[in-house]
Amino acid sequence: MEKTALITGASRGIGKAIAGKLASEGYNLVLTCINSFMELQYYAKQLEIAYHIHCTAVQCDAASWTEVKELTKVLPPLDVLVNNAGISQIGLLTDLSPEEWSRIIDTNLSSVFYTCRNIVPQMVANHSGRILNITSVWGEHGASMEVAYSASKGGINAFTKALAKELAPSGIAVNALSCGYIDTDMNRHFDDSEVEAVIAEIPADRIGTPNEVAQMAECILKMPLYTTGQIFTIDGGWMV
């Protein structure tokens, strides 16, 4: 039986890897991004050719209620929602403007509300569905000079646990995948010495890959529905 998944922020990094993994499992996909739409269109076509699935690329700002609402009006029934869209910013709290704060919170946290608010009614009507929110270890532990990012990810964790309780009676599982240091564009602002310092703290003695996160995401999506409201961590033992 064919399944369909929506993945936000799918043009690169973790979102792109999850898209590739789900495509290899036979999922039809709707992939969104805001800034790299041509690349996403090309990737969607590649996945269609490689895995004989339907894959649609959509330019949509996950931080915009209006754009997300318009997108969900034309979506097919979804079996899976992966909320992956996210941004980060390094800097002191005292240098963070209200506009920058709002952009991070809207992109990382409000976007999760926007997609769920529009998609959950359909899942409830079908009495089935799985929601996976991509979060970060900083959502639990907090990162110096990443206050807004940490706050947004902590919000996702709480959102996940609360929504899981709300939707469990409807046969819908809601979980989150908390990532440690993963080799993505978001982390490429660190210089070599900073990367080495972080790796020295990770028991696995290396940084993780987007493909490893994608493998973990697929495992979570296959778990029994009784597994819900959980924050799973993939960080090489870093924050144990």
Name the residues annotated as catalytic.
Answer: 149
Place of tokens 């990443």: 146
Q: Are the beta carbons of 190 and 198 closer than 8 angstroms? A: yes
Q: Say how far apart CA 120 and CA 4 lie, in whole Å.
A: 14
Q: How far is CA 74 from CA 3, 32, 50, 69, 177, in A?
A: 17, 13, 25, 9, 27
- Kindly state the tokens that stand for 163: 């929504």
How many Cβ atoms from other residues are within 10 Å of residue 98's Cβ? 7
**Quick one: tokens of 95?**
């240098």
- The amino acid sitting at 82 is V
